[in-house]
Amino acid sequence: MKRIGLFFIALLSAIVGGGVALGVYLNFFLPQNQVNFTNTNQPFLQTGYGNPDPVNPTFSPQNINFVEAAKKATPAVVHIQTFGNPALMSNRQQNSMEDLFRDFFGQQLPDRNQNQNEVRMGSGSGVIIEEGGYIVTNNHVVENATRIDVIMNNQKSYTAELIGTDPSTDLAVLKIDADEDLKPMTFGNSDALQVGEWVLAVGNPFDLTSTVTAGIVSAKARNINILRRKDGLGVEAFIQTDAAVNPGNSGGALVNSNGELVGINTAIASTTGSFAGYSFAVPIGIVQKVYTDLKKHGIVQRGLLGVQIRDVTADLSKELNLSVVRGIYVAGVTEKSGAIEAGLERGDVIIEVDGVQVNTSAQLQERIARKRPGDKVKVVYLRNGNERNTNVELKNSLGTTDLITNEAGKMMKIESLGIEIQNISPEMATKIGTTGVKIASIKAGKFKEAQVPEGFVITHIDKEKVETSADVIRLLEGKNGGVLIEGFHPTGRRGFFAIAM
């Protein structure tokens, strides 16, 4: 009986305790009306991906929509097909091309054009950036092509004129005479682009026209060593994204969520030749400058700082006993350059250009690549741990601040080669049957050693046609080893010279 009594006492205590707890919860914790979280001072926000609206920062998954951006971008992206003369290619190049075509199209090779001297070389993409028919693409898309066809989004086709190329940035400018209203792309701001921001890649991968893919910006000012040049003038400050890009996308558009052009898709990181996770685009800030120069001058007006540089890493900082682990180490200064005139010295560490911090060579190159000879940039640097600043006047590859011109008859001096050159007159071009550049004077240098006579007209350099002085500078810039010069003697006789650069 005693045990039964104790059991009922414990049961009664449990019932009373539970009732008290329930009463406290109902009175103090359970709200009397339904809570509207959006009306509280600290609302609960739905999570999602995308670019926040500055007016309404609330962003939900259903807001992820690239339809409008794609509608704006696709009409301005064109399909480019290139053709070349197989007689101008080596057997190895032809075999490589046939292997490539078989990989993409099976055993049946693409048809030759009606002109038996032309065979299709490849394809890519381009972006209309001006109503007058100007198109930007990659240099590697049109390189060595004898004919360039542009197919519009509406399937109309035009043969394009090559306005100019810039291997240093892998960009080229084309022009078509269209009989329709063109819809150029609106420029965005690649400087304002942020890591994590959504972007679209628009192009023609594997000849699949008007293809749109999406991804995010995964890095900026990325150097992947794809534009290696012996002269060190290759500019790599790519926008890295994870938007899917494949062969045929080259030269196409990278656009932001507003449908604005922020870059030109150029390369992929891959061991297979197809997309493997990351793609790279030239920032629109560089594209605009290169386009303007090629359209106006036929050559990029490249302003050079005049320094040899290395990234400051932890190892380099320790090795050279530097006071910082950031910035760009000046490994050398070029004679008669703007840098040496401004007081920069070997051992200095550049940390800022025109108010923008630079911590990698790619970042420094991107800032300088937007400038022209004669422009001045404010450089902040460290010397022995002390911060200093100076203004550097940039110079061209000839060591002057002049803009390189294609004006007929105007003298241009290439001091490193000891020659002065000038474009020939239209009358002389008609007389010899081709365009060319005349060597007006020769002093001590490589041309003198090769016994090239004054008055010689250069028509080709390493089999590439020369039309203007700008072409001579472009084709000889940074050359090492033997160079073949073709042209005409003052007597009208054809001539060939091999020059050791």
pLDDT digits (tens, 9 = 90+) for 384-412: 989 999 999 999 877 788 877 666 567 78
Catalytic status, residue 250: yes
Specify the range with the lowest mean pLDDT, choosing from 6-20, 197-211, 295-309, 445-459: 6-20
Q: Is the pLDDT of residue 115 over 60?
A: no
Round to whole Å and give the CA distance between 301 and 292.
10
Which spans in 202-274 are helix H?
A: none
Q: How do the domains of the chain map onto residue ranges?
A: 68-298, 307-393, 412-500
Query: What pLDDT is recorded for position 481?
Result: 80
pTM value? 0.71
Pairing label, strands 171-175, 161-166: antiparallel
Selection from 70, 392, 352 nearest residue 201 by Cα: 70
Catalytic status, residue 170: yes
Per residue, the 3-state secondary structure of 161-205, as one string, reads EEEEEECCCCEEEEECCCCCCCCCCCECCCCCCCCCCEEEEEECH
Contact status, residue 112 vs residue 97, Cβ threshold 8 Å: no
Query: What pLDDT is recorded for position 71?
Result: 93
Q: Regarding the domain with residue range 307-393, which homologous superfamily does it belong to in the CATH classification? A: PDZ domain (2.30.42.10)
One DSSP character per residue, 363-403 reads HHHHHHHT--TT-EEEEEEEETTEEEEEEEE-B-TTSSSPP
Average pLDDT over residues 313-333: 93
First to last CA, the chain: 116
Query: What pLDDT is recorded for position 409?
Result: 60
Contact status, residue 210 vs residue 164, Cβ threshold 8 Å: no
Query: What pLDDT is recorded for position 51?
Result: 47
Cα 412 to chain centroid distance, Å, stands at 29
Query: What pLDDT is recorded for position 480?
Result: 73
Lookup result for tokens 């394809």:
123
Catalytic residue (choose from 123, 125, 168, 250): 250
Higher pLDDT, 10 or 352: 352
Average pLDDT over residues 225-247: 78
Query: What pLDDT is recorded for position 12?
Result: 54
Catalytic residue (choose from 170, 293, 348, 471): 170
Q: Is the pLDDT of residue 4 over 60?
A: no
Higher pLDDT, 223 or 94: 223
Hey, which CATH number is domain 68-298, 2.60.40.10, 1.10.3720.10, 2.40.10.120, 3.40.50.11540? 2.40.10.120
Specify the range with the lowest mean pLDDT, choosing from 92-101, 131-140, 177-186, 475-484: 92-101
Report the interhelical angle of 361-369 vs 284-297 (nearest 10°): 40
Query: What pLDDT is recorded for position 95?
Result: 44
Q: Is the pLDDT of residue 135 over 50?
A: yes
Round to whole Å and give the CA distance between 151 and 19.
80
Hey, which CATH number is domain 412-500, 2.60.120.10, 2.60.40.1730, 3.40.50.10210, 2.30.42.10? 2.30.42.10
Catalytic residue (choose from 79, 123, 125, 140): 140
Q: pLDDT grade, residue 206 (50/70/90)?
A: confident
Catalytic status, residue 460: no
Q: pLDDT grade, residue 431 (50/70/90)?
A: confident
Share of the chain above pLDDT 90, in %: 46
Round to whole Å and give the CA distance between 133 and 179.
10
Average pLDDT over residues 100-129: 62
Question: How many residues belong to the chain?
Answer: 501
Query: Which residues are registered as beta bridge partners of 376?
Result: 393
Structure tokens at 242: 């994870």
Do the domains spanning 307-393 and 412-500 agree at the CATH topology level? yes
Structure tokens at 120: 């299709």
Q: Is the pLDDT of residue 24 over 70?
A: no
| Radius of gyration, CA atoms only, the chain | 31
